[in-house]
Each structure stands twice: as structure tokens, then as C-alpha cells.
Amino acid sequence: MEPFKVGFDLNELNLDGDILDASQYPYRTMVGILLFVARYTRPDICIAISILARYNAKPKRVHWNCMMHLWNYVVSTKDKCIHLSSESNLKVNCYVDASWATTIPDRKSVTGYLITIGSNIILWRTTKQGLVTMSAMEAELIALSELVKEIIWFKRCLEEISNVRCLVFEKIIINCDNQAVSHCTIMFYVRYT
């Protein structure tokens, strides 16, 4: 079972239909609950609930059906959880991706990233980008920029709490699946070092 049905076309969420009666369908309440769950314990549902939350003002039957599918997924996988281990490997790995112009109708891109220390997931986000990008590379660069800002913020928080320079963040591996971004960042690194 997946958060969204396999092969689900997001364009189906924009089909015409009657708006649901809020007194009969607790759509907003369920969105709030699942946003909380996604934010703190379930990175696997971040993108699904982020998409469904966009229809909070006027949910239709198709949104309700997707919400119920996601709800059933969360209930059926409630035994899945984040395990924190006390390992000595403190290597920081980051994973970043963006989906270019996928939100309808504004065609904004979506950013997603995940940060691990060793095998422990410590931070994850899924957000709609604030501007319309002209290419997949631009969307990926914006996602990468958001990730780097988050890394800097997190490093400074750890240093503030411990009052010690955080050596864990001396070498960070960032995994990005866009070759154009990889070449662009290599050129930037070569030019400015």
C-alpha cells in the first residue's frame, strides 16, 4: 500500500465536482492531524498530505477519497516508525529533489529534502516553491538552496546548544539526482575556491 494509489494522476484532483459539506466530512481536521503526523514522525506521507492540504478550502469527493486512502495507509502502517541508533558513524548525508512545475494551476515546483546523521533521519521537508521556475535545473537549484539554508541553521543550533564547534558538519554529502545541477555546482566550486 502506498500514500497515493500507484499511477494516480494528480490532474484528477482538479476535476469538477460538488464541494463537500464540512459538517459531514471532517476534511480539514484530517488534514491537520496528518500534517502534524507527517511533520514529526512520518516523512513517507509528506508529499501526499502536502498535496491534499492545497484543497482544504473547497474539498471535493475525489479529495475525500484520496484522504481516506492516505488515512488507511497511515493506520495500516502505524507500526512503522523512525528508529534512532547510537552508532559512532556521524556522517551527514542529505538527499534533495524537486519536481518541476507539478502543482496545478500555478505550475510551481515542489521541494523535498531529507537529512541524516549516520543512519538516523533527523530532518525532512516537503514544500511548494515560492516562485515559478523556467527549468528542472532551476527548481533543483532552489531546492538545493533551501537544503543548504536548513543545514546551516541546524549546525548553528547544535553549536549554540553545545557551545562547541560542531565537527559533524565539517563534511556533508549532498545527493542530488539532476546532472545539470551537479555540473553547475562543480563549476561554481571550481570558480570560487
Both 67 and 151 in a single domain? no
Confidence of residue 167 (pLDDT cuts 50, 70, 90): low
Q: What is the pLDDT of residue 47?
A: 84
Among 23-27, 44-48, 67-71, 188-192, where is mean pLDDT lowest? 188-192
Separation of alpha carbons 64 and 169, rounded Å: 43
Q: Is residue 83 part of a domain?
A: no
Tens of pLDDT along 15-64?
677 777 778 889 999 999 999 999 888 888 888 888 888 888 888 888 88
How does residue 5 score in pLDDT terms, banded at 50, 70 and 90? Answer: low
How many domains does the chain divide into? 2
Does residue 37 belong to any structural domain of this protein? yes
pLDDT tens readout for residues 107-159: 888 888 999 888 888 888 888 888 888 888 888 888 988 998 998 888 888 88
Does 103 share its domain with 185? yes
Angle CA 111–45–37, to nearest 5: 110
Q: Are residues 108 and 149 in the same domain?
A: yes
66 and 125 part of one domain: no
Q: Say what the pTM is.
A: 0.73
Angle at which helices 27-40 and 46-53 cross, to 10°:
150
Instruction: Identify the domain containing residue 95 by its residue range.
Output: 91-190
Q: What is the pLDDT of residue 192?
A: 41
Contact, 97 vs 113, CB < 8 A?
Answer: yes
What angle (nearest 5°) sits at the alpha carbon of residue 148, between those of residues 142 and 151? 145
Instruction: Give the domain CATH number at 116.
Output: 3.30.420.10
Closest residue by Cα to residue 140 from 113, 120, 121, 105: 113
Looking at the fold, whether 45 and 136 belong to one and the same domain comes out as: no
Nearest alpha carbon to residue 94 among 177, 187, 191, 188: 177
pLDDT value for 29: 92
Please indicate, yes or no, whether residues 144 and 167 belong to a single structural domain of this protein.
Answer: yes
Query: Do 182 and 118 lie in a common domain?
Result: yes
Shared domain check, 117 and 72: no
37 and 118, same domain (yes or no)? no
H or E stretch at 29 = helix 27-40
Q: Whole-angstrom Cα distance, residue 100 to residue 105?
A: 13
Domain contains 167 = yes
Average pLDDT rounded to a whole number, residues 85-103: 80
How is residue 166 annotated by DSSP? Answer: -
